[in-house]
Amino acid sequence: ESTLGAAAAQSGRYFGVAVASGRLGDSTYATIANREFNSVTAENEMKIDATEPQRGQFNFTAADRVYNWAVQNGKEVRGHTLAWHSQQPGWMQSLSGNDLRQAMVGHINGVMAHYKGKIAQWDVVNEAFADGSSGARRDSNLQRSGNDWIELAFRTARAADPSAKLCYNDYNVENWTWAKTQAMYSMVRDFKQRGVPIDCVGFQSHFNSGSPYNSNFRTTLQNFAALGVDVAVTELDIQGASPTTYANVVNDCLAVERCLGVTVWGVRDSDSWRSEHTPLLFNNDGSKKAAYNAVLDALNGG
């Protein structure tokens, strides 16, 4: 196959991209995004600040722009993200305790109702663990509202849209030896044992010199899958875009039956949140980088 999405589809997987609504009018950008990818994540438009700018007043203008573009072009959509310490609107940042929990539940219900039956996977909770060696939860207003805020979010999400796969999503959880990975693993194991509804784990995979790719990523994916959840690479970018590393990540996903697919976090280097790292698959002029060819070859079976 000659495009990433078609090549991934050979094994029943998708190859996705984060799309920014403001760039869809750029024809180079839109042409590549439409040609190469068969799954779309809104880079910012489905986040809490974008979709509920005032409490109880939802705005899906930008989110629908991404959603409609994706669906009109035959792509599935990953929803990102419903409960997160970051990109909370001002009104939510100032909440705490039970009021915040009710606001979180209201937010999940409002957004998931709008997209009911239309989203393949939802990142229900994003980035709830602390960096470093503590293995602790990240401090946030949500965490301070009670350690069970994550399972409250998942139970709410399951009731709101039973058709969506419900994911927990985080970064620096790709290396099996890291404390953050182990903490996330313990949580997912506990959720599965107690019947908290969780279907998938997203590994963001923002690889850089401080948190480089390690070949034990495959072990990580296998160990999570063995708990009975699907796994996915959800926000891939690699500082310097080493073709070998890109191919390794793709091959890790292909090696794990429950790996649903890979999403890269932008189209061209100039579209990246870390453009100075030149971490993506396309040059600024839209031409394919060596990493693109490595990924396509891997998806086509090497």
Amino acid found at 182: Q
Task: Indicate the residue among 281 and 298 with the shorter CB distance to ligand G3I.
Answer: 281
- Rounded to whole angstroms, how far apart are CA atoms 112 and 67? 13
Within 8 A by CB and 6+ apart from 99, the residues are none
Q: Is 21 in the site for ligand G3I (CB under 6 A)?
A: no
Q: Is 174 in the site for ligand G3I (CB under 6 A)?
A: no
127 given a catalytic annotation: yes
Task: Indicate the residue among 39 and 204 with the shorter CB distance to ligand G3I.
Answer: 204
Interface pick for ligand G3I out of 5, 38, 39, 43 (rule CB under 6 A): 43
Report the 10 Å Cβ neighbour count for 98.
Answer: 10
Task: Indicate the residue among 23 and 288 with the shorter CB distance to ligand G3I.
Answer: 23
Angstrom distances, CA of residue 43 to CA of 20, 50, 62, 79: 5, 11, 11, 10
Site string for ligand G3I, 219-248 (x = CB under 6 A): ----------------x-------------
29 HSE (CA, 13 A, CB side): 19
Residue count at the site for ligand G3I (CB under 6 A)?
9
Q: Which one from 43, 52, 174, 235 is the annotated catalytic residue?
A: 235
189, 149 in Cβ contact below 8 A?
Answer: no
Q: Is 204 in the site for ligand G3I (CB under 6 A)?
A: yes
Q: Is 276 exposed, middle or buried (0-12, 13-18, 19+ CB in 10 A)?
A: exposed
Interface pick for ligand G3I out of 34, 44, 211, 239 (rule CB under 6 A): 44
Whether the link from the prior residue into 81 is cis, omega within 30° of 0, is yes
Interface pick for ligand G3I out of 9, 273, 288, 293 (rule CB under 6 A): 273
Angstrom distances, CA of residue 219 to CA of 31, 151, 203, 226, 260: 36, 26, 13, 10, 16
36 given a catalytic annotation: no
Task: Supply the minimum distance, in Å, between the C-beta of residue 169 and ligand G3I.
Answer: 7
Task: Indicate the residue among 20 and 299 with the shorter CB distance to ligand G3I.
Answer: 20
Q: Which one from 36, 45, 127, 174 is the annotated catalytic residue?
A: 127
What does the binding site for ligand G3I look like in residue numbers (CB under 6 A)? Answer: 43-44, 86-87, 126, 171, 204, 235, 273
